[in-house]
Amino acid sequence: MALKLRVDDKLIVRAREAAHRITGEVQGFIEQHTTTSTERAVVRLFGVEGKGLDDVPLPNLVVENIQDGGGLDKGASYWVCNAMARHSLSAQEVAQAVGHGKLDLIKVAQADEGRIRETAHLIAQETLDRITRNRQTRSGFINQWGERPAPWLYIIVATGNIYEDVIQAQNAARQGADVIAVIRSTAQSLLDYVPEGATTEGFAGTYATQENFRIMRRALDEVSEELGRYIRLTNYASGLCMPEIAALGAVERLDMMLSDSMYGILFRDINMKRTLVDQHFARMIQAQAGIIINTGEDNYLTTDDAYEAANTVLASQFINEQFAHRSGMTDELIGLGHAFEMDPRQEDGLLYEMADALLSRHCFPKAPLKYMPPTRHMTGNIFMGHIMDAMFNLTSVATNQHIHLIGVMTEAIHTPFLHDRALAIENARYVFGYARHFFEEFDLKKGGLIEKRANDVLQQSVDLLEHIEHVGLMTAIAEGTFGRVRRQPTGGKGLDGVVAKGPQHFNPFFDLILKGGAH
């Protein structure tokens, strides 16, 4: 491996330590709180599915019932398992009773706390076993068929109809895709519930639902068999329902998920307290399921300048890594995001892009980095866009990126048509093949533009992280540090779903998962 950066590795240590302390400070708050969505995720992990009165999903009805009764500080497990124990019902039965107004969990006479916890652990263990089996199924496939060399081709489908999505996804796999992402319907991240059932009419995307996950997983398993290669499935967890969607992904064997509270805070105006608490549990589940998370730092470069704000991306990656570690994730699961977003008119932009991409690669050697194509400077000039994507593809293979989001020439126009995607895949495959060993072929010149740029960005990231440590993460966000977007700790959607844990609060998944010991 030759394209190796010479940077001051002590700065990397300093950056990581600052990030550790920054997240440590927030972690206190996180661990003292739970949220409606976290508790709904627990309910889902108990196997609850389906809708109740007014078509509201049962997990929502259950948690509302508890919250309305003032009992959420104990956690949903407490009340659901109490009812299960008392009435010898399954979780689903309990939920159905609540969902049809036939049971008020708060009013059920309270069983012995030991008994409640035991019940909870028992059913939690069942789900965790299922998740472990999913993990084994996945590794079974991969052992059988092997893994394609990175960068992996990550491709979106976005028809709004899960059955059309299946057609597009299977054909994309045949054309060469390694990972299929089903784009969510616009603004699903702002819904405070997870829709149910198979979607046939989404707006610029298809809802993330358990049923859609199942349908697509099955379709991809089918085409994986056909091709003798495991096609990964990904979807979006970030948003008001992050832990619930994470739970569904774990149960339905998704392989990756976009899962980042920073994205929700900045680009969806979700309350930071809410989503940081949510993220902790979401990532615990994903860690357990061997799901690679994708973080959203790439988005910062759509609202801020890629040349000037590279340090905000790197700083955020360090923070995101630490948050992930605190949820028990290993480096192999932390798909930190970054992007190729410099102005095409920037002299030596290719070299600076390579510098930034290598720097992320160097700072997070084991992470399956997610690399995003040019979007902001894409215009209706599809010819120009296609060659910008070619330079992106080159940078990706040259710097050994891992999860490669296909750049599509119609980025500034519409979500990809069938042939847009085919041309994009053709572009990536051509460049990847044509430059396959670029990474091993060159050494960087000492003191050259790339080395200098990488060192500058690293130094600025350390400075920024130490500033953030000083003011605290929430204040830093309020200052507009990331993507020039300012968000207040008490602003945004979903703060009403944040609840301080009482002394009796418990969540069997925390207990069981953390048994292995994180951080």
Partner 1 sequence: MEPNWVKPYGDTTNDGAMQLSFTLPVKNGGVAREAAKRLCESMNLENVQIVHQKDLGGGYTFFVVYGRCTQAVDISDIHVPEVQAPSWDMHQVNTIAHEKLGRKITVVGACTGTDAHTVGLDAILNMKGFHGNYGLERYSEFTVHNLGSQVPNETLVAKAIEVNADAILVSQVVTQKNIHLSNLTQLVDLLEAEGLRDSIILIAGGPRITHELAVELGYDAGFGPGTVPSEVASYLLKELLGRKGIMI
Binding of ligand B12 by 415 (CB under 6 A) = yes
In angstroms, the CA 477 to CA 316 distance is 11
Sole window of 126-134, 164-172, 316-324, 331-339 interacting with partner 1 (rule: CB under 8 A): 164-172
In angstroms, the CA 306 to CA 341 distance is 6
What pairs with residue 157 in β-bridges? 182
Partner whose footprint covers residue 175, from partner 1, ligand PLP, its own copies, none (CB < 5 to 8 Å by kind) = partner 1
Helix (H) / strand (E) containing 453: helix 449-471
In angstroms, the CA 240 to CA 7 distance is 39
Binding of ligand PLP by 467 (CB under 6 A) = no
Partner whose footprint covers residue 381, from ligand PLP, ligand B12, partner 1, none (CB < 5 to 8 Å by kind) = partner 1
Give the list of residues 6+ apart from residue 82 with CB closer than 8 angstroms, or none: 105, 108, 110, 111, 116
Residue 370 bears catalytic tag: yes
Binding of partner 1 by 204 (CB under 8 A) = yes
> What phi and psi values does residue 233 have, to the nearest 5 degrees?
-120, 140
Contact in structure between 279 and 242 (CB atoms under 8 Å) = yes
SS3 letters for 312-359? HHHHHHHHHHHHHHHCCCCHHHEECEEECCCCCCCCCHHHHHHHHHHH
- Tell me which of 154, 230, 236, 263 is the catalytic residue: 263
- Among 375, 395, 401, 427, which residue interacts with ligand B12 (rule: CB under 6 A)? 375
Partner whose footprint covers residue 411, from partner 1, ligand PLP, ligand B12, none (CB < 5 to 8 Å by kind) = ligand B12
Strand 179-182: give its sheet, edge to edge. 334-335, 292-294, 256-258, 232-236, 179-182, 152-157, 403-405, 370-372, 337-339
Name which of 272 and 388 has its Cβ closer to its own copies: 388
Give the list of residues 6+ apart from residue 229 with CB closer than 8 angstroms, or none: 145, 146, 148, 178
We find the least distance from the C-beta atom of residue 299 to ligand PLP, in angstroms, to be 5
By C-alpha distance, which of 286, 293, 375, 386 is closest to 334?
293
Q: In this structure, what token pair is assigned to residue 295?
A: 């973080």
Name which of 175 and 224 has its Cβ closer to partner 1: 175
Binding of ligand B12 by 299 (CB under 6 A) = yes
Sole window of 279-287, 350-358, 374-382, 492-500 interacting with ligand B12 (rule: CB under 6 A): 374-382
Binding of ligand PLP by 96 (CB under 6 A) = no
Sole window of 47-55, 396-404, 408-416, 429-437 interacting with partner 1 (rule: CB under 8 A): 408-416
| Residue ranges in contact with partner 1 by CB under 8 A | 158-159, 164, 167-168, 170-171, 174-175, 186-187, 203-204, 267-269, 302-303, 376, 379-383, 412-419, 422
| Residue ranges in contact with ligand B12 by CB under 6 A | 183, 186-187, 204-205, 267, 299, 302-303, 375-376, 378, 411-415
Q: Hey, which residues are catalytic here?
A: 263, 298, 370
